[in-house]
Amino acid sequence: MKKDLMEILACPLCKGPLQLNAEEEDEKEVVKGSLYCASCSVSYPIEDTIPNLLPPEVRNQDREVA
């Protein structure tokens, strides 16, 4: 995920700001980490440069099906 996306990303639940927590980066973007909403206390994973902004209930359903 490119860091400049932080300017336009918002929590899908409350539309509040997200905090970036980068665990792994390359010279261009965040490869692994998370986006955290302090208002909702929800964390959204970033894996292979792709942020997963699905609500937690939907993400958990996807895991159960797979």
In a 3-state reduction of DSSP, which class is residue 60? helix
Whether 3 contacts 9, CB under 8 Å: no
pLDDT at 39 over 80: yes
Q: Quick one: which of 5, 51, 49, 44 has its CA closest to 31?
A: 49
pLDDT at 52 over 80: yes
The values of phi and psi at residue 40, to 5°, are -95, -15
Neighbours of 4 (CB within 10 A): 8
Q: How confident is the model at residue 55 (pLDDT cuts 50, 70, 90)?
A: confident
Q: Where are the domains of the chain?
A: 3-65
pLDDT at 65 over 60: no
